[in-house]
């Protein structure tokens, strides 16, 4: 499994570099739309596991359209349109659910899970597009990716070799306190090095706070996705990335760290 993780990472890394550095804003947004749709498909497959093919119905389909539209609205730098799209999505899903309620009262639960998915995946992913399209966007995307991915590596290896105390066993039995601390330590170390060499104008104190905040958010995002998989009886969200699982497994930490990064970039740092 560890070998598969490294091989997959080494194969994906050059494409990620080309996308962020050379792809331009338009291509970046298009790739985020594709990632959004794939992640939503995995999410619906997990949360609607007890409803058979419900993840392929009209309400999830509305989610795919809304998700792609939210990312595109972020590319157009339209906060207002994102709010309108989220509201319209709920309105349309409510209209779809009304004639179905008599035969299936749990359809309201389908609507709730779909709306949660829209906030959880496309809305959070849109922060990456806003960051990329802002000043110093490429550097900030790398800053965030280095912090999040280094934390994942640190948590995995420290947990594997030194893990003794369970972090949240009801959600993810394999994660440990030692792994969490190791992940945060690498968040801080890698983030500090990146800041020193590529963002020297940022204040040190607030930059280190950002590294820790993004690291904590990433770990919460990882555990949050594990809750869905636990309830949906899934080990992985998918099998697209050998050794990593699905798209949602790979971006779960990034989803929660992205709004934190956007907040720090725009309003604090």
3-state secondary structure of 138: helix
pLDDT at 150 over 90: yes
Average pLDDT score over the chain: 91
Distance of alpha carbon 81 from alpha carbon 98, whole angstroms: 26
pLDDT at 9 over 80: no
DSSP 202-245: S-HHHHHHHHHHHHHHHHHHHHHHHHHHHHTT-SSS-SSBTTTB
pLDDT at 5 over 80: no
Chain segment 184-219, per-residue pLDDT in tens: 999 999 999 999 999 999 999 999 999 999 999 999
Distance of alpha carbon 232 from alpha carbon 50, whole angstroms: 8
pLDDT at 13 over 90: no
For the whole model, what pTM was predicted?
0.92
Task: Say which residue, 181 or 163, is predicted with more confidence.
Answer: 181
Q: Do residues 177 and 153 make contact, with C-beta atoms less than 8 angstroms apart?
A: no
**pLDDT on residue 197:** 97
pLDDT at 154 over 80: yes
Chain segment 85-142, per-residue pLDDT in tens: 999 999 999 999 999 998 888 889 999 999 999 999 999 999 999 999 999 999 999 9
Chain segment 46-86, per-residue pLDDT in tens: 998 766 555 568 999 999 999 999 999 999 999 999 999 99
């Amino acid at each position: 499994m560890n070998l598969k993780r490294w091989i997959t990472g080494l194969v994906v890394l050059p494409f990620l570099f080309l996308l962020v550095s050379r792809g331009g804003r338009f291509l970046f947004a298009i790739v985020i739309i594709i990632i959004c749709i794939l992640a939503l498909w995995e999410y619906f497959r997990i949360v609607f596991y007890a409803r058979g093919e419900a993840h392929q119905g009209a309400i999830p389909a509305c989610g795919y359209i809304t998700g792609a539209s939210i990312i595109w609205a972020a590319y157009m730098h339209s906060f207002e349109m994102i709010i309108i799209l989220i509201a319209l999505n709920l309105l349309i899903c409510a209209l779809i659910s009304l004639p179905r309620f008599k035969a299936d009262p749990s359809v309201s639960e389908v609507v709730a899970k779909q709306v949660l998915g829209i906030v959880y995946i496309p809305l959070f992913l849109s922060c990456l597009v806003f960051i990329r399209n802002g000043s110093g966007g490429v550097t900030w995307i790398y800053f965030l990716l280095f912090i999040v991915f280094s934390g994942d590596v640190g948590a995995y290896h420290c947990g594997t070799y030194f893990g003794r105390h369970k972090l949240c066993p009801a959600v993810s039995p394999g994660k440990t306190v030692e792994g969490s601390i190791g992940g945060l330590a690498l968040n801080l170390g890698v983030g500090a090095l990146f800041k020193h060499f590529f963002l020297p104008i940022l204040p040190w104190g607030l930059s280190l706070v950002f590294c820790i905040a993004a690291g904590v958010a990433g770990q919460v995002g990882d555990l949050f996705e594990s809750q869905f998989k636990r309830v949906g009886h899934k080990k992985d969200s998918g099998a697209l990335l050998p050794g990593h699982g699905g798209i949602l497994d790979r971006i779960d930490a990034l989803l929660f760290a992205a709004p934190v990064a956007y907040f720090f970039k725009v309003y604090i740092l």
